[in-house]
């Protein structure tokens, strides 16, 4: 195999890997957002739950979470502004870790579910931010996101952590232990 053919093969493989990650993470978080909007307790039920865990006001947080999840999901699936969509997913997962899962340890099978699932999703989103959308994305087709991989990592990780931190500082009021 020539060097050019090898480079093409690697680029195709990375693009397929990015596509699989985008569809997997995007579909998962889109389903969560749609569930907040149309499933079970809808926004009102989600708002009550957010209030109960200390994310106040619950209704604002329910709408913000639903819109962020749907938006990130759609953007990831189509590969549009991929590192920014990844940052949104990282922020959601960090907020979930801090508000719900951290006190339950690592493993997802622990009572109350540990951080394992959310941590893996957040780190996969940071990795995808570095990969970018790949050839099979609107980022590639339109040339919207053409930055180097390290910029994608910084955007997905740094912006995600920063957004989560701001949301937690502004809106998280842990309920008293008791």
Which residues of the chain are modeled with pLDDT < 70? 1-10, 178
At residue 52, the pLDDT reads 95
Cα–Cα distance for residue pair 92/140, rounded to 1 Å: 26
pLDDT of res. 176: 86
For 150-171, letters b (16+ CB in 10 Å) and e give ebbbbbbbebbbebbeebbeeb
- Other Cβ atoms less than 10 A from the Cβ of 109: the count is 10
Question: What confidence score (pLDDT) does residue 7 get?
Answer: 55
What pTM does this model have? 0.93
Identify the pLDDT of residue 4. Answer: 57
pLDDT at 8: 59
- Look at residue 55 in the predicted model and tell me its pLDDT: 96
d(CA 60, CA 78): 27
pLDDT at 178: 67
């Amino acid at each position: 195999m020539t060097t050019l053919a090898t480079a093409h093969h690697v680029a195709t493989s990375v693009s397929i890997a990015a596509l699989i990650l985008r569809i997997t993470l995007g579909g998962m978080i889109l389903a969560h957002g749609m569930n907040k909007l149309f499933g079970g307790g809808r926004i009102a039920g989600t708002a009550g739950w957010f209030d109960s865990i200390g994310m106040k006001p619950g209704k604002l947080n329910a709408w913000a979470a639903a819109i962020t999840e749907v938006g990130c999901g759609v953007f990831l699936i189509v590969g549009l502004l991929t590192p920014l969509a990844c940052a949104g997913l990282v922020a959601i997962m960090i907020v979930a870790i801090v508000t719900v899962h951290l006190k339950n340890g690592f493993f997802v099978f622990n009572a109350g579910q540990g951080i394992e699932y959310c941590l893996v999703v957040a780190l996969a989103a940071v990795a995808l931010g570095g990969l970018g959308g790949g050839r099979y994305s609107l980022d590639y087709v339109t040339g919207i996101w053409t930055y180097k991989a390290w910029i994608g990592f910084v955007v997905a990780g740094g912006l995600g952590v920063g957004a989560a931190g701001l949301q937690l500082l502004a809106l998280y009021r842990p309920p008293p232990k008791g």
